[in-house]
Amino acid sequence: MKISRCIFFAAFLIAHPVDASQFCFALATTYYEQVYCQLQAKAQTKGLPPFNQFKKNNEVVQASLLKRPAERNGIKLPAPAHKAQPPAVIIAPQKTITKPQASAQRAPTNEPDPAPLRSVKAESKNASGCELLGNQIHCGNRVFKSLGNKANHRLAKNALSIDNKMALPSYQGGGLNQYLARAYVQYIDKMCDIGLCGVTMTYGKFAYLYQDLQSKGLDFPQRFEIMYGFLKKDKASMGVSESSGAPKNLSLDKCVEITDMRYVCDHQGRNYIFEMQ
């Protein structure tokens, strides 16, 4: 009976596509949020608030909430890099939300200047000389079309296999901005490989996660490999909407040509990817 119910549920998910932003790891922008997603994947979030409520707390509260379940599941949980005075009350599951303190470290809402991305290819530039027409960026003879997510049957044969790795390079010294820009291009490529072009991190959030992991003494490429493994498992069992489109008020000043084939644009904390046709 239990097996038949699982099969039915999996079939239901595939037949009824969900918003890919419901993939926990696609929403995680800090290490503690990634730990929450790992616990969720293991069905070990009993006693924890919903993810959207968890995100609204500062690092001290998040670490306190995660401590015991992380220990039970053998997940490393370094202490917050910048400690803040915790609030008097920790949120209860499904109930009230403790507002983060002003001094708490949170992911930035304003994206940094995308200049480091332009260093990926010498001739790279923003799209100021191009024109945005609907869901396309026109740059002379080149046309870039907005990309969304892809259903599994349209992916490469082994895209969701264990052999497909994120394989971010390790930092070997030198210019950090240049390293992060190259790693970001790899991240975008690999997310699109598994049909999740529509839920990628902006460069600002990507760089912030690097800083967060470094402050906790964690390996950046390794963490992204773990994230990629969970995303592939989710993608294999869940349908996604393939609809795509750029917002009407998207500014081309926020778009950067990161490879000969792709532009990446950020708008109000969300990524939009355009690929040359």
Tell me whether residue 8 is in a domain.
no
Give yes or no: residues 128 and 231 share one domain.
yes
Q: In the prediction, which pLDDT does 245 show?
A: 84
Give yes or no: residues 160 and 233 share one domain.
yes
The Cα 68–Cα 75 span in angstroms is 10
Q: Is 245 left (phi over 0), alpha (psi -120 to 50) or beta?
A: left
Tell me whether residue 11 is in a domain.
no
Tell me whether residue 205 is in a domain.
yes
Count structural domains, the chain.
2
Q: Is 168 exposed, middle or buried (0-12, 13-18, 19+ CB in 10 A)?
A: buried
Residue span of the structural domain in which 34 resides = 30-106
Tell me whether residue 7 is in a domain.
no
Q: In the prediction, which pLDDT does 240 show?
A: 87
Tell me whether residue 6 is in a domain.
no
Q: In the prediction, which pLDDT does 117 show?
A: 66
Tell me whether residue 95 is in a domain.
yes
Strands 131-133 and 136-139: antiparallel
Which of the listed residues 58, 86, 106 is the one where a domain comes to its end? 106
Angle at CA of residue 9, ends 6 and 12, nearest 5°: 150
Give yes or no: residues 232 and 186 share one domain.
yes
Q: Which amino acid is at 30?
A: T
Give yes or no: residues 229 and 181 share one domain.
yes
Q: In the prediction, which pLDDT does 246 show?
A: 87
Tell me whether residue 50 is in a domain.
yes
Which of the listed residues 40, 74, 106 is the one where a domain comes to its end? 106
Give yes or no: residues 201 and 79 share one domain.
no
pLDDT in tens, the chain (277 residues): 444 443 333 333 334 444 445 789 989 999 999 999 999 999 999 999 999 999 999 999 999 999 999 999 999 999 997 644 433 333 333 333 333 333 344 444 334 445 556 555 444 456 667 999 989 999 999 999 999 999 999 999 999 999 999 999 999 999 999 999 999 999 999 999 999 999 999 999 999 999 999 999 999 999 999 999 999 999 998 888 888 888 988 989 889 999 999 999 999 999 999 999 9
Q: In the prediction, which pLDDT does 10 show?
A: 38
Give yes or no: residues 95 and 114 share one domain.
no
Give yes or no: residues 173 and 266 share one domain.
yes
Q: In the prediction, which pLDDT does 119 show?
A: 52
Which of the listed residues 59, 84, 106 is the one where a domain comes to its end? 106
pTM of the model: 0.80
Give yes or no: residues 98 and 200 share one domain.
no
Give yes or no: residues 125 and 64 share one domain.
no
Q: In the prediction, which pLDDT does 163 show?
A: 96
Angle between helices 2-15 and 220-237 in degrees, nearest 10: 100
Give yes or no: residues 102 and 41 share one domain.
yes
Q: In the prediction, which pLDDT does 115 show?
A: 56
Q: In the prediction, which pLDDT does 129 show?
A: 75
Give yes or no: residues 162 and 249 share one domain.
yes
Q: Which amino acid is at 126?
A: N
Contacts of 37 (CB under 8 A, 6+ apart): 24, 25, 27, 28, 51, 227, 230
Give yes or no: residues 262 and 128 share one domain.
yes
Q: In the prediction, which pLDDT does 273 show?
A: 96
Question: Is the Cα dihedral 173, 167, 265, 35 positive or negative?
Answer: negative
* C-alpha distance from residue 127 to each of 6, 144, 246, 254 (Å): 47, 11, 14, 8
Tell me whether residue 3 is in a domain.
no
